[in-house]
Amino acid sequence: MTAMSRWAVTLAVGATGTAVSLSVQAGLQRGGTLPERAVWIALGIVLVVSAHLLPALTRGASAVARSVGSVLWLACFVAVCDGHAGFFLLAQRHAGALRASTVTTAPVVMTGRGLTVVMADRATVIAQLTTIDARRCSGDCRTLDGRRTMLTARLDALNAEADDVRRIEAERDRVTTQRDALLADPVTSRLAALLGTTTARVDLLSGLAFAAVLEGVACLLWTVALRQSPSVSVTTANGVTASEVMPVADGPVASQPEVTAVIANHASEAASHKTEEVSHASPDGPVTPLPVADSTDDDVARLALEVAAGFVRPTVADIRRYLNCSQARAVALRRQLAERNVPA
């Protein structure tokens, strides 16, 4: 396992663990009784694992299996995002309640009467005072003046009581406004004001966005982590077997030209060894010329290298196109490639 694969597995496990913990919390919040919570938790875990691993597990399967897997993955993805969004909304509500609980208010003396009752009594006193002022005193006016003084004092008391009620209501409104402001996240409230919408809609959209990002990252990481590096085994014309890992992902693996160069070096070394063995003939005996390598063997070796590197497919049509040879020769070369176990 390469360093990149280890990092991909580590990040994938972390993302899946985070998603599973969110599903567990969402199940605890959704269920009422203990069995209901257990079922919600189990359902959330299954949906999370299925959403993360289905793309990687269905890769390389048949077209029908991939189609069914894609539909099921989309359903799992939507269900998991819904559960995670519910968790985010409830968590935001709990955080807002904690912020709002920090608001302190000064002790307020309650009068026991509302502003409406006080203003009604005040209107009655003003009417009585107006009636007294409209009367004309022809004799002893002390009784009328005393009545006027009493009504004026009562009016002053009602005005003071009305001011106290207004002050209490203003304090209540201030505390309510402050608590409402703290219930919403500061970023969410400002974003809602910028977009001209409500904070509830912004909370929902942000929760869905967070859930979609988490699930998408987890699916991608598991797809990368579960990728396998296939190896190509090639037997050259001189009996040298080369096994090289083909590059399937970014990482410290050999490129296609390097694979071809390594296999060619193995073949040339084996050919030089065989030539040296043939050249060690007896000095007293007749000198025999070195055997000339068959062109067919050279073509087969070259085709094996190209097939291993992925430049040529081991089919008759590709062999004819690559060597510009006849149909019969291409068939013979294809047969020799099959005898040397070159993968099709």
Residue 221 in domain: yes
Residues 98 and 201 in one domain: yes
How far apart CA 260 and CA 302 sit, in angstroms, is 10
Residue 344 in domain: no
Q: Is 289 helix (H, G, I), strand (E, B) or coil?
A: coil
Residues 243 and 331 in one domain: yes
Total number of domains constituting the chain: 3
Q: pTM higher than 0.75 for the full model?
A: no
The residue range of the domain holding 241 is 231-276+293-339
How far apart CA 159 and CA 151 sit, in angstroms, is 12
Question: Which is nearest to 23 in space by CA: 92, 89, 82?
Answer: 82
Residue 188 in domain: no
Residues 8 and 93 in one domain: yes
> Which residue, 153, 183, 213, sits at the end of a domain?
183
Q: Per-block average pLDDT, block size 10, for the chain (344 residues)? A: 81 94 92 91 94 90 91 94 92 87 66 82 89 74 81 90 88 85 84 89 91 93 76 44 43 45 49 46 44 64 82 84 85 83 62
Report the b/e string of 30-42 with b at 16+ CB within 10 A. beeeeeebeebbe
Q: Is 20 helix (H, G, I), strand (E, B) or coil?
A: helix
pLDDT value, residue 282: 42
Residues 71 and 137 in one domain: no
Residues 335 and 239 in one domain: yes
How far apart CA 259 and CA 40 sit, in angstroms, is 52
Residue 303 in domain: yes
Residues 89 and 212 in one domain: yes
Residue 158 in domain: yes
